[in-house]
Every structure is written in structure tokens, then in C-alpha cells.
Chain A
């Protein structure tokens, strides 16, 4: 020892680092990714690969050459954005659409705000909404290619929510629509029929979320409050008019609700810091989702709900602080 090291206390450090946390999220996404690959096959692998590579690559290029601050590059966080983006796109998305999404996510939603930790909006959601508005046909019409596991009853179609919206517009009741399309609540728990890669299996998503909870990467409050709000609203409306409003189970497992509640809304950067703030944020998302589903023109509103509530995060942070010691 020639020269001692000097620094202010503390002199020890917890094991978790930004990279390890991001890798935990990647691990938590694995079950859902595996399931989506099983169902959608090579097309899904292509979407995942393009999204991951272009997000990481774009972040590096933008940090290095455009912003000239290479220290802003964070590969692990860009990888998470890429995977989440891929989970938010249908497997049939052409590669250029995925790459464009990556450009919006990394270039516009993340780096233009100053990179990791500075963005106001969730990058993957921003990209999804951008693509949804720009390419509604590709984003809402789902055709099922042959995956490694194929299921016989549905080979192409819209998402359950999309079918419902159409059906309700043409005056059918929910029960009729569901029975003509052969949905029951059990199938949707194991696998959704059609939709983005990340919507396919509620079980796989919950498994990943459980891992995040065990690793203490995220806290359950945001997710719980979203799901409970959705459940409560659905219960009330379904109770009043079951013919026009879908029920609790159906709303919880369809669409991007679970993906959004478990992985997107819990994003550190774009969610409130305090527990109570998280609860308010979650309730907001739940209410907006259900309003869009029941009364809006879009069949599905998770992305919009998260984006809208992202705007309120700074305000929520301002209103909800930690409980301080000795300042009752």
C-alpha cells in the first residue's frame, strides 16, 4: 500500500448498481419473452433483436457523436427500453417500423431530455404511441404466424379488446361477442389471443414481476393500485350493465394492462418516488385506462394512460413527500 485512499463516509456500498438493476429487469422479462417466442416464432425473435440492437446502438451513437458525452451511454438501460419496446409491438411489425420506434424511444423520448434519469416520458411507451398513431393498420391488425407452438382456433384477427369495440359498435352484447370468438377467462390467463408480444401471457408477466418484487427492484404499490382501480371500476360498471361493460377478469388480463402495470408504469424515472405518490399515480392510470376502454374510441388505453400520468409525476412528487422523523 503506497498511498491510502481517502473519502468521506460511508466507506461501504450496497451491491445493487444501475446495471444490476437493469439486468434484473431483463431477467424478469425473460418468461414473457420466451412465451412470446414460442407463440410467434422467428418473427418475434426478429422484432426483439432489431429493437434491442437499435436501442443500444442508437443510444451509443447519440451519446458519443451527437451529444459528445459518452458517459451518458448506459447499455443496460437501453437494452431494457429495447426489450420493452419489442414487447409492445406486434410480431408482424416490419423491421423498419421497429427501428423507427427505437429512434423515437431513444432519440426523442430519452436522449433529447438529457439521457438516463432525465426523461419525462417512458421511452418505450412513447415509441409505441408514436407508432400506434402513425401506423394504425400495422399496429392493430394482428395476424398470427406459425410459432413454435401453434394453436388451431385462431389464426388471425384483432385483439379481444379490438373485437369487443367493433362488436359493441355494431350493437352486439358482450356475451355474444365473447362466445362467437371463443374466449373464456382461463385462456386469457395463460395466453391472450393476438396482440403485442408482451400481452400474450399474463402468467409469464406475473412470474417476472414476482421476481422483481423478490429482488426488491420495484415496490408493489403502483402495480397494485393500477390493478385494483381497474378491478373496482370494472366491477361497478359491469355490475350495472353487464351487456355493455366488460368484467373484472377480462379487463385485468387483456390488453397491455399487466405489461403496463408490472413493467412500464413502474419505471423508476417516470414514476413518482414516494409510496403514496405511487398509489395516486396508479389510480390515475387505472381510471384513464377504463375511461378509454369504456368510452373512448381506442379499444385499449394503457399506453395513453401511462403517458398522461407521466406528465403528472413531477406534480405528484411535489405533493407527496416521505414521512419525516420528528416533524409530525
Chain B
């Protein structure tokens, strides 16, 4: 009996030793030489394998970065600039500083603002819906509300608000990987600069129809009136195809556009204080009056000079 046990142990031990030697030999013989920096970079990366950088995963990104030797065309939106600095240190190259971005839903078409004109009964997919028809509201451009973006988000940063029927971005979780932007067939979601302390200003509408049609479809639509464009002192706003767009690179967060927008299509988020529309409007009026005053004074001066 005890013999059996001893023999079992002996045979298994010998077998184990022999096989481990074989494995060791195979591992040595067939080892693929890889740049150790790839492993290093991969460890630095967030490891979400989300594909937000355009590569299949974090390792593919690391591989491409090492091959290129620089980070000109590689950026990990999830890790942000901190991670990129570390990666750059490993590679020994410089990186351009990029402002952190966040997904922004540019649609105001809540159930209250945008009455439903028909009932959609097909597959719950924005893609299917958008290829079929213009949508279950009068608006051809806005959110379809089937949640393709929510399904695309790997970080759980998006959720549908049942009251408005629109997706909501959880800024803490959003990594600006861009999956939702690609998933939205209407291109409602845009990646915008997060802004200082999360403060930012954006036009929450992309309806390109003329004012009356846009207004008819949705109470909070951008009607392309151009008031914001005229008000903006920083040249950040342009109106093309009946819809305004704020260039976040130029916006100084003065919130004047938000105050003058007649439909409330311009949204400011992250600001510590509620916008006092009247005060801002007064400020604009004062400034205009002053400007008019100055212009008149200048004209008078000119006349005086001439006279």
C-alpha cells in the first residue's frame, strides 16, 4: 500500500520535472523578441481596451506608439494628458498638450419640448430608426431616443433620462473615447472641451431647418436667428445652415449668448451660479449703449476735427 503511494509520488515528480524542462526549452527556443517598452506602455495605459484611440486595444496602441517612436498621431482619450505624459517619458518624446474633452448631447428635444408625431414600433435601435424615416417627432435632426449611444458606452457614462427621453452624460465617467459619437446616426453627440472646472457653453441643437420649421418641431430648437452671433464679442459663434455653433477654443464663457437666445437652445453647464439673464442682458445693453455713445463721440470728434 505505502509502496503504491511512494511510487505515485516518485513518478509524478519525475514526470513534472521532465515536462517543465521541455516547457523551459520550448519557451527559450520560440521566444519572440519584443520591445520591452511595449509592455511598459501597456501597463501605463488604462487597460480599458475601448478602442477610443483608433486601435484595437491598449496593446495595439502601445505597439503602434513604439513603432512610430512618437505620439503625434496616437492619443489615449481615456487616460488623458497624465497618462500620455508617462507614455511620452517611456518613449522619450514630447507631446502636445490637449484639453480634456467630454461628450455633449446637442439636443433639447425632450418629450415636453418636442411633441411626438407618430409611434415607432421597430427594433430599439437609432440606426434602424434613422435609416427608416425622419423620426417620431417633427425634427429631422435631433435625438431618436433609442439609446445606441448608451449601448456603445463601455464606461457606463451614458444613460437615458426617462423623463426627457434624451441621453445624459455622467461627466465623472466619460472618458471622451468617442464611441457614442460614432454610434449616433444623427451625430447629435459631440466631444467638446470640458472647460475650466467643467464650465462650458454649447448650442444644444443641430436642427438645420429654417427657423419656423425648426420651432414648429421643437420648442427649444435653434432657429438660426443669429442673435448669439451678433452678441458674442469673441467671434466664437457662427451660424451655418440655420444653426449656431460655438467654437469652444474661442469661447470665453461670458454666457451672453445664453442670455440672449430666444428659445433657450444654448446651454451653460458647470457654472457655480445660475444665469441671471436680465443682468446679463442689461450688461449687453449698457455695453451697446456705451459703444453707441463712443461711436457718436468719435463721429462728433471727427466732425470737430474736420470742422
A and B, direct touch (CB closer than 8 Å): yes
A5 & B128 in contact (Cβ 8 Å cutoff): no
**Which chain B residues border A7 with CB–CB below 8 Å?**
120-122, 132
Tell me, yes or no, whether A8 is within 8 Å of chain B by CB.
yes
Whether B121 lies near A3 (C-beta < 8 A) is: no
Judge whether A3 and B119 touch: CB under 8 Å.
yes
Is B133 in the interface zone, CB < 8 Å from A? yes
Write the chain B residue with the least CB distance to A4: B118
CB proximity of A255 to chain B, nearest CB, Å: 41
Q: From residue A102, how far is it (CB to closest CB) to chain B in Å?
A: 34
Contacts of A12 in B (CB 8 A): none
Q: Are A6 and B133 in contact (CB under 8 A)?
A: yes
Q: How far is the CA of A127 from the CA of B285 in the complex (A)?
A: 81
Check if B116 sits within 8 Å of A3, measured CB to CB.
Answer: yes
B118–A5 touching, CB < 8 Å? yes
Contact present for A6 and B136 (CB under 8 Å): yes
Number of A-B residue pairs with CB-CB distance less than 8 Å in the complex they form: 25
B161 at the binding interface (Cβ < 8 Å) = no
Chain B hits for A3, CB < 8 A = 116-119
**Given A4, A5, A8, which contacts B132 in the complex, CB threshold below 8 Å?**
A8
Query: Distance (Å) between the CB of A12 and the closest chain B CB?
Result: 13
Contacts of A5 in B (CB 8 A): 118-119, 121
B121's nearest neighbour on chain A, judged by CB, is A7
Report B-chain residues with C-beta under 8 Å of the C-beta of A6.
118-122, 132-133, 136
**In the complex, chain B residues whose CB is within 8 Å of the CB of A8:** 122-123, 128, 132
Q: Mark A1-25, 1 if CB is under 8 A from B, else 0.
A: 0011111100000000000000000
* Cβ < 8 Å to A, chain B residues 113-142: 116-123, 128, 132-133, 136
Question: Shortest Cβ distance from B118 into chain A, in angstroms?
Answer: 5
Bound CA–CA A4/B119 (angstroms): 6
- Residue of A with least CB distance to B117: A3
How many angstroms between the C-alpha atoms of A149 and B272 in the bound complex? 86
Whole-angstrom distance between the alpha carbons of A3 and B115 in the complex?
Answer: 11
Give residues 40-84 of B contacting A (CB, 8 Å). none
Q: Give CA–CA (A5, B117) in the complex, Å.
A: 10
When distances are taken between beta carbons in the complex, the residues of chain B under 8 Å from A4 are 118-119
Bound: A5/B136 CA distance, A: 9
Of A3, A4, A5, A6, most B-chain CB atoms within 10 Å: A6
Q: How far is the CA of A7 from the CA of B133 in the complex (A)?
A: 9
Give the docked Cα–Cα distance between A6 and B136 (Å).
Answer: 8
Question: CB within 8 Å of A: which of B256-285?
Answer: none
Q: With a CB–CB cut-off of 8 A, which chain A residues contact B116?
A: 3
Instruction: Give chain A residues whose Cβ lies under 8 Å from the Cβ of B117.
Output: 3
**A7 to B132, alpha carbons, bound, how many Å?**
8
CA distance A5 to B119 in the complex (A): 5
In the bound complex, residues from chain A placing their C-beta under 8 Å from that of B122 are 6-8
B128 CB contacts on chain A under 8 angstroms: 8
The contact sample of 11 A-B pairs, CB cut-off 8 A, is A3-B118, A4-B118, A5-B119, A5-B121, A6-B122, A6-B132, A6-B133, A6-B136, A7-B121, A7-B122, A7-B132
What are the 9 tightest A-B residue pairs by CB atom distance, in nearest-first order?
A7-B122, A7-B121, A8-B122, A4-B118, A5-B121, A6-B118, A8-B132, A5-B119, A3-B119
